[in-house]
Amino acid sequence: MNPKLAGLLTFLLFVSSSALYSQEYLIKFATLAPEGSTWLNVMKEYDSEVRKESGGRLGFKIYPGGVAGDEKDVIRKIRFGQFNSAGFTGVGLGEIAPKVRILDCPFLFQNYDEVDYVYKTFDKEFAQAFEENGYVLLGWAEVGFVYIFSQSPIYRAEDARKTKMWVWEGDPIAEAALKSLGVSAIPLSITDVLTSLQTGLINSVYSSPLATIALQWFTKVKYMLNLPLADAAGAVVISKKKLDDLPPDLREILIRNGQKYMEKLTRLSREDNRKATETLKKNGIKIIAPPSPETVREYFAIGERARQMLVGKLFSEEFLTRVEKSVLDFRSHEKHPK
């Protein structure tokens, strides 16, 4: 063999072997987010930074677009050690730590300042809830405010009751919200929604503007009620067992960068949702103006009833009272600063 060629092959073999050897710790990560999405792009940045700071000793292997199954499937696979980490919406998070679903409750928040305040105020309690159930929170990555999209205009609650509304199968928050609203919802998995809109099985959905576009639901609806139904939570978590297996220096790199990149993802998601709303308008979706103060109060009363339905199922009365009070206190302070 040509000496130069033999030398090159030896070098490539050495580099390949070194790369394999240096990858001491691999985190198998699953998400529903598709390739090309902001969610996945930021996750790849997170992975790149972790690899850089760890000298290639630590990194993620990312399974995007739901190839690992839905969120309940992934939780089961993490339990069996097939995966170690995942990005979940509130549905998956609730399977791990039910009390964090309070963040998804209907008509609890009016704006992102209130959302940020509650996350900050109760951060330690939420983190503890994950740890008690075998997970560690690497960072919050909210889906954003969720709105009702429909094929006929919805102004008041009585209009919603005339629709055939989708509800995410097995989601207690959505079920309570729609039950309190008086809607006879039709439970479906998220993968069946578009087909059901096409066939007329349902004629209204709830979603963030960005997800409505990504899932192509916007092609089958005409209206969006411009009143947030809820702020949909999201987060990246890792099995506590997997995290504990890492050396302390790698744990520090992983956790610190998790906070950094998930904060970035939340900022970008909010901007993406704002842009998505403009895109919806350009595609003929009519944005129904915020309801009158009287109608808003009607919706807020519905939210209070829905939250009470979840007491003892997802969270305690005491915890709900503290969260609601924190929102009201913050709202009052913003309106009447000292």
Residue 314: domain span: 145-231+279-335
Count structural domains, the chain.
2
pLDDT on residue 191: 84
pLDDT on residue 276: 97
Same domain, 195 and 129: no
pLDDT on residue 291: 87
Same domain, 77 and 203: no
Same domain, 321 and 295: yes
Find, among 40, 80, 81, the residue nearest to 62 by Cα: 40
pLDDT on residue 6: 47
Kindly report the CATH number assigned to the domain that includes residue 37.
Answer: 3.40.190.170
Query: Partners of 136 in the beta sheet?
Result: 238
Same domain, 30 and 169: no
Find, among 61, 1, 10, 59, the residue nearest to 31 by Cα: 61
Report whether 236 contacts 87 (CB < 8 A).
yes
Output the CA torsion 72→77→79→83 (10° steps).
-120
Report whether 207 contacts 147 (CB < 8 A).
yes
Same domain, 18 and 77: yes
pLDDT on residue 333: 85
Same domain, 11 and 132: yes
pLDDT on residue 2: 55
Same domain, 97 and 129: yes
pLDDT on residue 290: 83
Same domain, 249 and 222: no
Query: Partners of 146 in the beta sheet?
Result: 230
pLDDT in tens, the chain (338 residues): 554 444 444 434 433 433 444 568 999 999 988 899 999 999 999 999 999 999 999 999 999 999 999 899 999 999 999 999 999 999 999 999 999 999 999 999 999 999 999 999 999 999 999 999 999 999 999 999 999 999 999 999 999 999 999 998 889 999 999 999 999 899 998 889 999 999 999 999 999 999 999 889 999 999 999 999 999 999 999 999 999 999 999 999 999 999 999 999 999 999 999 999 999 999 999 999 988 999 999 999 999 999 999 999 999 999 999 999 999 999 998 775 65
pLDDT on residue 23: 66
Same domain, 319 and 201: yes
Same domain, 286 and 175: yes
Within 10 angstroms of residue 91's Cβ, the number of other Cβ atoms is 23
Same domain, 217 and 136: no
Residues 6+ positions from 135 with CB-CB distance below 8 Å:
96, 97, 237, 238, 239, 240
Same domain, 79 and 7: yes
Q: Note if the pTM is more than 0.85.
A: yes
pLDDT on residue 135: 98
pLDDT on residue 8: 44
